[in-house]
Amino acid sequence: MTDVIRESWLATKKSIRKKLKKGYVLLIVPNSKAPIRNLTIPYFIFLSFFILFGINLYFLVRYPFRISEIIKLEYKAYSLREVISKQDKALRRIDPCLRVTHDLEKKLNEQNRFYAEMEQQYNVVRNRKNRSNKNVSLVHLPQYTLSSTDQDFSKLGVLNNNLDYLEKEVEATSSSLNTLLAKYKDYDRQLDFTPTIWPVVHQRRISSGYGYRKHPVYKRRIKHQGVDIPTRYGTPVRATAEGKVTIAGSKGGYGLLVEINHGYGYKTRYGHNSRLIVKVGKWVKKGQIIAYAGSTGTSTGPHVHYEVRINNVPVNPRPYLK
């Protein structure tokens, strides 16, 4: 069996050798009488020549296509470089923007401190309470640690987060400020209806206070329902708060009396006037002149008998004179 294989192998070898030995003869014929020369070209060189020729032809045909591809790629690279440079510029703008968010954080905190101050002031005015040290709610931008890779894009993320955070905080602060402003306005309006001023301008003296006293006319201890403010005859008497006139006329010991209903349970009375210039039902503003002082009714000299009533019960007017 092995002999058969060996023989067949030898035959193949022989045939290859034979083929390689095959070749072509190139005749070089001169146009003179010189002898003809011949050049033997072996088969494999001939074959190599055609292979090389074929390869060259392939690259020659492919070359123009490659050139156009290269031009396209060059153009793409150029546009990408443009995009990169634009993005670089944009990214360089992130740092200043980030700094602005930190400035805004500071400003917002200033506003929050101001708000806390105003709220405390409001509580002091409104409730006559002492200052309580309420904590100011301060804004703190979220802290991020940036990784070294992709830093510029992380910065953009931080910037966006900061802006979102600040937007919410600004909204919260402005809503708190609006609420406080509304409270102030309400209180301001309420103050219009609360007696706070003296009924006589340029007079800050009380000749007879509120409470039990020996009555100057009846000469016995009677509760004084208001305070007496000495005046000159004819001095203008002012409404101490806004409201509606409920009494305007002569009323017993009060003499010529004006009573104003201010709402919120408040009423004020002004007695012993010489002349009234308002009628029942008239709406009067705080500080508006309603009468002229005198000494009508049970009185020993010109003065204003001033009363403050809460739910129709006379109270000490002193705290309402400011």
List CB contacts of 318: < 8 A, sequence separation 6 or more.
206, 209, 210, 227
Binds Zn ion by CB under 5 A, chosen from 262, 267, 269, 305: 305
Q: Which residue has 């010489």 as its token pair?
A: 274
Q: Please report how close the Cβ of residue 289 comes to Zn ion at its closest, in angstroms.
A: 20
Q: Please report how close the Cβ of residue 251 comes to Zn ion at its closest, in angstroms.
A: 13
305 and 271 in contact (C-beta within 8 Å)? Answer: yes
When the beta carbons of 158 and 227 are compared against Zn ion, the nearer one is 227
Q: Please report how close the Cβ of residue 196 comes to Zn ion at its closest, in angstroms.
A: 20
Q: Please report how close the Cβ of residue 211 comes to Zn ion at its closest, in angstroms.
A: 11
When the beta carbons of 22 and 223 are compared against Zn ion, the nearer one is 223
When the beta carbons of 228 and 242 are compared against Zn ion, the nearer one is 228
Shortest-Cβ-distance residue relative to Zn ion: 305
Part in contact with Zn ion (CB under 5 A); list of ranges 47-55, 78-86, 244-252, 297-305: 297-305
What CA–CA distances, in Å, run from 54 to 43, 47, 49, 50?
17, 11, 9, 6
Burial 247-260, CB ≥16 within 10 A → b, else e: bbeebeebbbbbbb
Q: In whole angstroms, what is the distance from residue 191 CA to residue 310 CA?
A: 15
Residue 302 has which token pair? 């010109």
Does 307 participate in binding Zn ion (rule CB under 5 A)? no
Part in contact with Zn ion (CB under 5 A); list of ranges 66-74, 129-137, 251-259, 301-309: 301-309
Binds Zn ion by CB under 5 A, chosen from 105, 169, 228, 307: 228
Partners of 227 in the β-ladder: 306
Residue ranges binding Zn ion (CB under 5 A): 228, 305
